[in-house]
Amino acid sequence: MAAAATPWAARVWSAQGVSMSSQDIPSPLPRVQQFESMAFGIFVHFGLYSLLKKGEWAMHLHNIPRDEYMKLMDEWAVPDFDGRALARLAKEAGAKYITLTSRHHDGFSLYDSRGLCQWDVTKTPAGRDIIKDFTDGCRAEGIIPCLYHTTLDWSEPRFNNDWKGYQQYLRDSVEIICSNYGELGAVWLDGNWSKRDADWELDALYSVIRKHQPETMIINNTGIGEEGKLVHNEIDAVTFERGRPEPIKREGMTKYVAGEMCHTSNFHWGNADRDLNMISPALVIEELVRSRGAGANLLMNLGPTRTGGIPEYERAMFHVVGQWIEYHGGDKCPIYAGRPSGIHGTDDDFGFVIGDEAYLFVFDVTATADPRVSGTNARGTGPRLYKGVPAGFKSATWMDDGSEAKFTPADDGVVLDVKGYPYGMNSVVRVVRMTR
């Protein structure tokens, strides 16, 4: 029998443990520091594919010829798209930023391409620049706007026939989004995984971004199977697409990079009305907490409807996540300020030290935490050891209901007496605040 895998929380501890000298790790740039402090964002996939309601890869996987597919532009009115409404949803959810697809792999742009491309939103019945609506709406609500831009293009012939020409086209396209919509929190690129051995002329591409957006986060998704890989020194955050973020081993790095995991609510990123395999709000809460335990952000997706509205299920899901954050301090919730600090328990349990306080995250309290596997993961109530908790804490409180949390000092940490939920309450992941 193979040896048991090292628990996730212990891997976090070993990579970010308290014995590590701070001199071994570079200091984060202000933009990276701000990005990590935002903790939680909303990903929005919206485009012509939204009309088909078959997911964002519909053109490619349903073998729709480009000219036939682009006829959807004649139907693209999207009267319900409202950048400010998206920003208000983010605020309700506790998300601090939104990343919107300015152009996805189908080659259709949600921005005025200034004659660079024949497939953009200005040539549709919508007749408006969706990216401007979005960025203005975010700023009105205090949400940081970020823009996704594909590097892969199924519609532009130069992608296959004139690689150098396509690289110039790509840079010109990215320059438009970087120079016409004010300050962006991030430029999120995606598609280099389609031609891993090609010369994407990254120095030139990133120079264009830095010219217009010197303080933006540059993120280039390495894709499934390449999670956490750093491929260029201009990158500010590595990606963990639909994976489990691992702590970044920053010792010896020339630059401090952040991490971000993007996840979607079903098996598509765009609107897909026949995909009913939706994840629960509880799982989103768990993924958010696990991501933060590894020091990564969570970028959680929604796909607007064919008219541009916010889907009912995703709206409700984000609302529930926002309730969890509110129950645990709102803007003072430890997921924002917390960083891996050497506290780990068993399985997913971990902790943060923030100033003079410690926060212990407690998973699987419910007696039947996962009914799909008959409670296999349900550790329930009782004593749990958290290693790496500094000495000197005198009292503790369960954040979700304000009741006292009992613990006993141990040689290498504390033993927390995990109690069950009061009747009528279940906060999915419980959090204990420890004070001196």
pLDDT, tens digit (0-9, with 9 covering 90-100), for 320-370: 999 999 999 999 999 999 999 999 999 999 999 999 999 999 999 986 545
pLDDT recorded at residue 154: 98
Query: Does an H or E element contain 384, and which?
Result: strand 382-387
5 within domain boundaries: no
Mean pLDDT of the chain: 93
**What distance in Å separates the CA atoms of residue 361 and residue 267, rounded to the nearest whole number?**
28
Rounded CA separation 271/269 (Å): 7
Query: Do the bridges between strand 382-387 and strand 357-362 make them parallel or antiparallel, or are there none, so unpaired?
Result: unpaired
For residue 194, the tally of other CB atoms under 10 A from its CB is 15
Which is it for strands 296-302 and 237-239: parallel, antiparallel or unpaired? Answer: unpaired
pLDDT over threshold 80, residue 7: no
Q: Give the alpha-carbon dihedral of 318, 321, 322, 325, to 10 degrees.
A: -160
* Interatomic CA distance for residues 300 and 242, integer angstroms: 10
Q: Residue 323's pLDDT is what?
A: 98
Give the chain's largest Cα–Cα span: 69
pLDDT in tens, 271-283: 999 999 999 999 9
Q: Which percentage of the chain shows pLDDT scores above 70? A: 92
Label residue 114 left, alpha or beta by phi (over 0 means left) and psi (-120 to 50 means alpha). left
Q: Are residues 216 and 287 in the same domain?
A: yes
For residue 318, tell me if it sits in a domain.
yes
In a domain, 176, yes or no: yes
Same domain for 360 and 319: no
Q: Are residues 238 and 367 in the same domain?
A: no
Alpha-helix runs per DSSP H in 180-246: 202-212
71: domain CATH number? 3.20.20.80
Q: Please report the sign of the dihedral spanned by the C-alpha atoms of residue 340, residue 342, residue 348, residue 352.
A: negative
> Domain for residue 84, yes or no?
yes
Do residues 275 and 253 both lie within one domain? yes
> Could you tell me the two tokens for 421?
């939920």
C-beta of residue 416 within 8 angstroms of C-beta of residue 384: yes
Categorize the per-residue pLDDT at 23 as very low, low, confident or very high, splitting at 50, 70 and 90: low
pLDDT digits (tens, 9 = 90+) for 228-248: 999 999 999 999 999 989 899
Does residue 15 lie within any of the structural domains? no
**Which structure tokens are listed for 380?**
């329930």
Is the pLDDT reported for residue 72 higher than 90? yes
Q: Do residue 57 and residue 194 come from a single domain?
A: yes
Flag whether 19 is in a domain.
no
> What digits encode the pLDDT tens for the residues 390-404?
999 999 999 999 999
Calculate what percentage of the chain has a pLDDT beyond 90: 88
Band the pLDDT of 22: cuts 50, 70, 90: low
12 neighbors 20 (Cβ within 8 angstroms)? no
- Is residue 427 assigned to a domain? yes
Cβ partners under 8 Å of residue 265, min gap 6? 278, 279, 284, 300, 301, 302, 313, 314, 317
DSSP 271-334: -BTT---PPPHHHHHHHHHHHHHTTEEEEEEE---TTSPPPHHHHHHHHHHHHHHHHTTGGG-H
Residue 11 has pLDDT above 90, yes or no: no
Neighbours of 98 (CB within 10 A): 27
- Nearest CA to 42 out of 84, 91, 103 is that of 91
User: Is the Cα dihedral 124, 128, 129, 135 positive or negative?
Assistant: negative
User: How high is the pLDDT of residue 379?
Assistant: 79
| Gap between the Cα atoms of 28 and 257, Å rounded | 7
Same domain, 409 and 308: no
Give the C-alpha separation, 214 to 154, whole Å: 30
Q: What's the number of CA atoms in the CB half-sphere (13 Å) around residue 305?
A: 12
User: How many other C-beta atoms are found inside a 10 Å radius of the C-beta of residue 256?
Assistant: 16
Q: Which of 4, 6, 8, 2 is nearest to 292 (CA)?
A: 8
Mark whether 215 and 303 lie in a shared domain: yes
Q: Which of 295, 321, 336 is the last residue of a domain?
A: 336
User: Which of 3-17, 138-152, 274-288 is the least confident region?
Assistant: 3-17
Q: Which tokens go with 28?
A: 């984060």
For residue 315, how many other CB atoms are within 10 A of its CB?
Answer: 15
Note the pLDDT of residue 367.
63
Of 336, 365, 381, which residue is a domain's last? Answer: 336
The domain boundary, picked from 306, 336, 366, lies at 336
Q: How many domains does the chain have?
A: 2
Residues 36/295, Cβ–Cβ less than 8 Å: yes
Amino acid (1-letter code) at residue 159: F
Instruction: Looking at the structure, tell me whether residues 129 and 92 fall in a common domain.
Output: yes
Residues 328 and 350 in one domain: no
Question: Does residue 303 form part of some domain?
Answer: yes
Tokens of 418: 């995990």
**What's this model's pTM, rounded to 2 decimal places?**
0.93
* DSSP for residue 20: S
Q: How confident is the model at residue 13 (pLDDT cuts 50, 70, 90)?
A: very low
Q: Give CA–CA dist 188/299, Å, rounded.
A: 11
Domain match, 353 and 288 both: no
Instruction: Write down the pLDDT at residue 108.
Output: 98
Q: What is the average per-residue pLDDT within 184-206?
A: 98
Min mean pLDDT across 2-11, 66-75, 104-113, 134-143 is at 2-11
DSSP 59-104: HHHTT--HHHHHGGGGG---TT--HHHHHHHHHHHT--EEEEEEE-
CATH, residue 376: 2.60.40.1180
Sign of CA dihedral 225, 228, 230, 234: positive
pLDDT tens, 212-226? 999 999 999 999 999
Residue 162 and residue 262 in one domain: yes
The residue range of the domain holding 426 is: 341-435
pLDDT at 378: 61
Mean pLDDT score, 381-410: 97
Same structural domain, 302 and 403: no
